Each structure stands twice: as structure tokens, then as C-alpha cells.
Amino acid sequence: MSKKKLPHIILIVLDSARAKSFSCYGYHRKTTPNIDRIAEEGVLYKWCFAPANWTLPSHASLFTGLYPSEHGCHWGFPFLDNALITLPQVLQQAGYFTVGISCNSLISNATGFTRGFDRFYDLGVAYPFQHAEAPSGFSVREKLASIISEPSPARVRWLVNRLVARAYGLVASWKAFLTRRALRLALTTLAMGQERHIFLFLNLMQVHGPYEPPRETLGTFGGRRKPSFRHLAPLPSQYYAIRPMPAEAAEKLTALYDEELLYVDRRIGELHQYLEMSGLADETVLIITSDHGELLGEHGGLFWHMYGLFQEQLHIPLIIRWPSELGAYGVNDNLAQLHDLFATLVGLCGSPFPVPEGSVDLLNGKRGFALAEDVDAPLRVGDWAARDPKFDAAAFPFREPAKVTIRLKDTGRLEVAVLQPQDSISLTSLAKGAMEWKRS
């Protein structure tokens, strides 16, 4: 597109939102009625996959067009390399006024994700202290004992942070507060849309655990605040790979998760309504996606997202409402990946910036396969074991780096190949997951 015709771009990442739970992807509950409507006006990419199973490496791929093994941003090096050119930088050079709004502290100035933004609202750093160290132990009693026996300023700061968060949680839904604040900032930014070309990035944490939906949607699908997320899932997430979550608990957690998704869908509906009423809708590329999905009791009771490479963790929503002049509508059955947005948006703005080979333009290309990586599993498992002496790392089935490829057969079925690891326990778990993908 010429610079004069550049569309506004709104890129919304719903942290931890899995495609499986969206009604527009066939879910039995009406969790996303507003997003469904946006999908009807644009393109729903049926088979979009995250390049990683957690926030940091997945966002780094989105911002650079690179796979996790290429950009090197992970648990052991939680920073976006300064040598890498980011999507906001490219769009800024193309003439966009770039604004970022993040409710996740991992996507912040501290981790290098603000490069290229003219303005960045770091809502995720909501605690009084940023530099804090979690004490060892699992239970509250064990953590307090650790602070008393080995006191340090960093651990005291951690305690103050937790007390502030708990006090606020007694009177309001903290995630819902951040979601509303992020959307207010987004609307303020879009009010400048008549004057300049805007790139607006949002990371919303509403669907991320702990699942404690606000009153507006609590109970819609049978969820109950008490017993809450912490009562239903009292163990650290990694324990559920060894000690499966009971089916009843998984069912209740799923209801809470769905109610969180319904709440953020309503806020997105308000944003969409603003675009229509302001006349900006057909001048805007509106993108709704996620950085990774979530396990909610599948595969024998697994829970969370930071271990394994299963379909529920990797299959993410991608819905794009394009300006009508592009003529893009309907359901796209081709493979796509989150970081294809890099090539797509670079191409859309007409930038000459060279696009990485692993990022495919959704408007002008076709992906042969998708690749997902878990490059930092040993580091995460080692850290968990160091923090919790009760955790048996040797028995943990997802302790090795993992890599899978996903191909779409002519029959419409997914074919998953496990490239790593060599470890027999992890390989069995991943292969089992691959077989379940084929049966779905």
C-alpha cells in the first residue's frame, strides 16, 4: 500500500487464549460472540499455531518473525536482543505512530520489548516493587519460614508485593481492572486516528491464570469464585504432569476460564463498536490472536501451558478484519503461525525490510509446515527444582528441549512429527499427543 493509504493496525494478543475455547472455532459454549462477529466480517485462520508454549519466546517471534531457536529470547535469557529489528521499529520507519499497551510484565521495557514504540504503557508492572525474589517452598507457611530464616531485601519486597495484590483482590478483579484500563488507553489512542497512521499493540491478561472472572461474567457457565482457582489447582502447575488433575477440578477450572474469555470478548466488542461508530473500521486492520494456548485437564489431567507441545497449547486463534479494498473474507484453511504477522504487516506497509524466511505473508504466501519449539525446558525445570525441594525433576516428563512440526494433509487432518527430544519419557508423551491430534 502507498503511504497515503496505510491502514491503522490494531494487534490484540489475548494471553493464554486457546482456539479450542472460542465459539467461532466450534466450541460448544458461546464464549466469544463479539469476536465471532468480527470473524464473520473478516478472515478466520483455522489452523494457526504458536511457535512456543509460553509468553516470552512467542512474543519475541511475533516481534521479529524468527523462531525461538533463532531469536534466543527464553527462560535463560529473558530479553529481546538489541541487535534484532522489531516489528514496531519497521512500522515506525514506515510512518506509523506506534503505541504499545501491555498487561503482562514479561512484555515490557525490562525485557526489551518497547523498542520502536513511540508510547508504551507498561500496565503489567502493577506491584510496588519490580525487583523481588520469591522465597523457596510451596505453601504460605514454608515461604514465610524461608523469609524468616534467610531474610533479604528482595524477599521482603516479594512479600509486600503479594500482600498488596491480595488486598486489592479482596475488593476487585485485578485482571479486569487492567483490561478496562488497557481498552481506555486504546480508545484514547485511536481518537488520533484521523490525524496519523496508528499501530496499536495490546497484550491482555484476562484469560491467563489465575482464573477469577469478575462479577459481570462469573457464573455464566457454572463457574464459582469459591472454591477458586487456587483451591481447585492448589499445586504448582508442573506437578500436574506427574500427579494428574482430577476431572471435576478440570471441569470447574474450564468454566472459570470460559467466563474470563467471555469478559474480554465483551470489551473487544466495545472496541469494535467504537471503530464502527467513528468510521475507522474500514480503515483498520484488526487482528485478534494469542501467544499460546492452555491445557485444562486434557491428556490425562495436564494443566497450564509451560511444558509439552500439545495442540491445546499451540493451536491459537487468529482472526483478522481487513479493510474491504483487500477483499479478504471467510475461513482460511491453510497453515499459519503467529509470527507470520511480521511478514504480513511488513508487506502491507510496503517496507523494504528483509523478512525472515520462517515468516510467511498471509496475504501473498502459503506455509508448507508449522514449527513449534520448547527450547528452554531444562532451565525451567531446574529452576522449579531449586525453588521447591519437594519437586522431583527426574520424574518430570517434559524436562528436555522439544520440537514438533505440523503439516496439513490433503484430507484436512493434521500430521505432527516429533523432532526432539531423544529422552524416551518426553518422546512418549509428545508422540501420544501427536496421535491425539490426528484423531481430532
Q: What is the pLDDT of residues 396-406, one digit of tens each?
A: 989 999 999 99
Beta bridge partners of 98: 199
Mean pLDDT of 131-136: 60
Mean pLDDT of 357-362: 97
Q: How far apart are CA 24 and CA 80, in angstroms?
A: 33
Domains, the chain, ordered by start: 3-129+174-360 (3.40.720.10)
Position 342 confidence tier, pLDDT thresholds 50, 70, 90: very high
Residue 299's CB: how many other CB atoms inside 10 A? 17
pLDDT exceeds cutoff 60 at 206: yes
pLDDT exceeds cutoff 50 at 1: yes
Distances (CA, A) of 303 to 232, 416, 439: 11, 21, 21
Q: How far apart are CA 58 and CA 412, in angstroms?
A: 26
Position 162 confidence tier, pLDDT thresholds 50, 70, 90: low
Q: How far apart are CA 11 and CA 4, in angstroms?
A: 21
Whole-number percent of the chain with pLDDT over 90:
67
The DSSP output letter for 356 is: P
Least confident stretch, 4-13, 29-38, 114-123, 330-339: 4-13
Distances (CA, A) of 343 to 23, 55, 86, 109, 355: 28, 20, 11, 24, 6
In 244-386, where do the E strands start and end?
284-289, 295-296, 303-304, 315-316, 318-321, 330-337, 370-374
pLDDT exceeds cutoff 50 at 171: no
pLDDT exceeds cutoff 50 at 274: yes
Find cell 515461604 and name the residue. 143
User: What is the per-residue pLDDT for 439?
Assistant: 47
Mean pLDDT of 367-384: 93
pLDDT tens digit string along 52-70? 999 999 999 999 999 999 9
Q: How far apart are CA 319 and CA 74, in angstroms?
A: 27
Residue 438's CB: how many other CB atoms inside 10 A? 11
- 210 CB burial (10 A radius; 0-12, 13-18, 19+): middle
Q: How far apart are CA 221 and CA 261, in angstroms?
A: 11
Give the chain's mean pLDDT: 88
Find cell 520469591 and name the residue. 134
Which of 292, 303, 298 is CA-nearest to residue 237?
303
User: What is the per-residue pLDDT for 139?
Assistant: 59
pLDDT exceeds cutoff 80 at 225: no
Position 72 confidence tier, pLDDT thresholds 50, 70, 90: very high
pLDDT exceeds cutoff 90 at 31: yes
pLDDT exceeds cutoff 80 at 167: no
